[in-house]
Amino acid sequence: MDRRSLLAGGTFAGIAAGLPAELLAQSVTSGNAPSSETAPAGPDPAAKHRIDFAAIGMDHAHIYGMCDAVIRGGGTLKSYYTTDPKQIEAFGKRYPGAKLARSEDEILADKSIKVVLSASIPDLRAPLGIRVMRAGKDYLGDKPAITTLKQLADVRRAVKETGRKFAIMYSERLESRASVYAGQLVEQGAIGKVIQTVNLAPHRVGTGRPDWFWDKQRYGGILTDIGSHQADQFLFYTKSTTAKVVASQTGNISWKDKPGFEDFGDMIATGSGGTGYIRVDWFTPDGLPTWGDGRLFLLGTEGYIELRKYLDVAGRPGANHLLMADRNGVKYVDCSKVNLPFGPQFVTDVVERTSTAQDQDQALLAAELVLIAQKNATRLVIA
């Protein structure tokens, strides 16, 4: 029975009553039940090299995941610098083997340090990265590592002049096991060519946010901030090397007492490899057991993939859930055991001057897309 007949015939229950029992059973069970499997861990991301690195600025807790990734890759956290007593206490407790430097210059002058990491206040990240590169070191900044188009131009100029790396930790792809496995499936051609990505990225405001969190001049706006993760995924999965913003909008729906804050934004981009839709917001409800229900949809020419990165609201435990429909059927994949390769790859890139962990042009193009989208966004007003 086709869709038109189904709609014309009333309820499914009424239609089903007139179907032979064996036909009804076949329509429900034959080939439609998804298989379930666990994704293999994948290649062992064992550390290949050893390097010393440092951290400057701990204003966002992402710094801990960043440091842990580099440590997994063979890095030794030698020193760190911040002037905030709470950050000094927390960071020193987490990494007791690292030394508190007396100044930023002490770290930049230390020739044994090859990489500097930072999760400082967003508008300070790019200027720091430029100083790091001009001191002869590579840089890994938390997203958004760049908050204005002028900063982006300055970063590109410094990269060209110094030959150093300005890497950006887009953790929603690089540190997500489901995202890593989805990348492997795409590379294998499991769903054909990816022609569109759809990213839904809700976040929770929570309590105790610092003053800069509410100031658009400091965090860059919601598309610049959260949207940078999603722009990175759009470029990566569609394999786009060039791209442009088609449309964008931002708004402050629920925080009228915080005029410098944005709690909703979306954008459409199109690139040389496909198109992408991105929606970001700060509307995660208090009842959700995690900070956000991040979802990614990959539309391919021969199938599609859906990621539930941080939880499955249908009840499966844990995170890193992948659902796929392809030419062979449908299946659910538990990606919780997939290895995370970014740390070892990044350390190898630093030592061998390769670009396996992250392509420099792609990282900066993702930043450019959201900066343009933010700058040109129409203002969303909901009565």
Three-state SS string over the chain comes to: CCHHHHHHCCCHHHHHHCCCHHHHHHHHHCCCCCEEEECCCCCCCCCCCCEEEEEECCCCCHHHHHHHHHHHCCEEEEEEECCCHHHHHHHHHHCCCCEECCCHHHHHHCCCEEEEEECCCHHHHHHHHHHHHHCCCEEEEECCCCCCHHHHHHHHHHHHHHCCCEEEECHHHHCCHHHHHHHHHHHHCECECEEEEEEEEECCCCCCCCHHHHCHHHHCCHHHHCHHHHHHHHHHHHCCCCEEEEEEEEECCCCCCCCCCCCEEEEEEEECCCEEEEEEECCCCCCCCCCCCCEEEEEECCEEEEEECCCCCCCCCCCCEEEEEECCEEEEEECCCCCCCHHHHHHHHHHHCCCCCCCHHHHHHHHHHHHHHHHHCEECCCC
Does residue 11 fall inside a structural domain? no
272 in the same domain as 151: no
Instruction: For residues 163 and 353, give the distance between their C-alpha atoms in angstroms, rounded to a whole number.
Output: 10
pLDDT in tens, the chain (383 residues): 444 444 444 443 443 444 444 433 443 444 566 799 999 999 889 999 999 999 999 999 999 999 999 999 999 999 999 999 999 999 999 999 999 999 999 999 999 999 999 999 999 999 999 999 999 999 999 999 999 999 999 999 999 999 999 999 999 999 999 999 999 999 999 999 999 999 999 999 999 999 999 999 999 999 999 999 999 999 999 999 999 999 999 999 999 999 999 999 999 999 999 999 999 999 999 999 999 999 999 999 999 999 999 999 988 999 999 999 999 999 999 999 999 999 999 999 999 999 999 999 999 999 999 999 999 999 998 87
187 in the same domain as 119: no
Helices 149-162 and 122-134 sit at what angle, rounded to 10 degrees?
20
For residues 48 and 352, the answer to whether their CB atoms sit within 8 Å is no
203 in the same domain as 337: yes
271 in the same domain as 154: no
Max Cα-Cα span within the chain:
81
Q: Tell me the residue type at 206.
A: G
108 in the same domain as 199: no
The per-residue pLDDT for 29 is 41
Q: Mark which of 120, 137, 169 sits at the end of a domain.
A: 169
Q: Are strands 51-56 and 378-379 parallel, antiparallel or unpaired?
A: unpaired
How far are the Cα atoms of 75, 222, 248, 351 from residue 380, in angstroms, in the given order?
45, 13, 10, 46
As given in the structure block, the two tokens for residue 295 are 């979802």
290 in the same domain as 233: yes
The per-residue pLDDT for 305 is 98
Q: Mark which of 130, 152, 169 sits at the end of a domain.
A: 169
For residues 110 and 54, the answer to whether their CB atoms sit within 8 Å is yes
Instruction: For residues 118 and 240, give the distance between their C-alpha atoms in angstroms, rounded to a whole number.
Output: 28
Does residue 13 fall inside a structural domain? no
As given in the structure block, the two tokens for residue 70 are 């580099």
Does residue 230 fall inside a structural domain? yes
179 in the same domain as 323: yes
321 in the same domain as 199: yes
What CATH number does residue 156 fall under? 3.40.50.720
For residues 82 and 57, the answer to whether their CB atoms sit within 8 Å is yes
245 in the same domain as 140: no
The per-residue pLDDT for 1 is 43
Number of domains composing the chain: 2
As given in the structure block, the two tokens for residue 192 are 């054909």
Instruction: For residues 286 and 53, give the distance between their C-alpha atoms in angstroms, rounded to a whole number.
Output: 38
Instruction: For residues 229 and 144, give the distance between their C-alpha atoms in angstroms, rounded to a whole number.
Output: 8
Q: Mark which of 169, 185, 204 sits at the end of a domain.
A: 169
As given in the structure block, the two tokens for residue 10 are 């009333």
Does residue 23 fall inside a structural domain? no
332 in the same domain as 305: yes
Does residue 9 fall inside a structural domain? no
Q: State the residue for tokens 């499955």.
A: 312
The per-residue pLDDT for 32 is 62
161 in the same domain as 61: yes
Does residue 269 fall inside a structural domain? yes
180 in the same domain as 123: no
Does residue 134 fall inside a structural domain? yes
What CATH number does residue 281 fall under? 3.30.360.10
Residue 191 is part of which domain span? Answer: 173-341+372-379
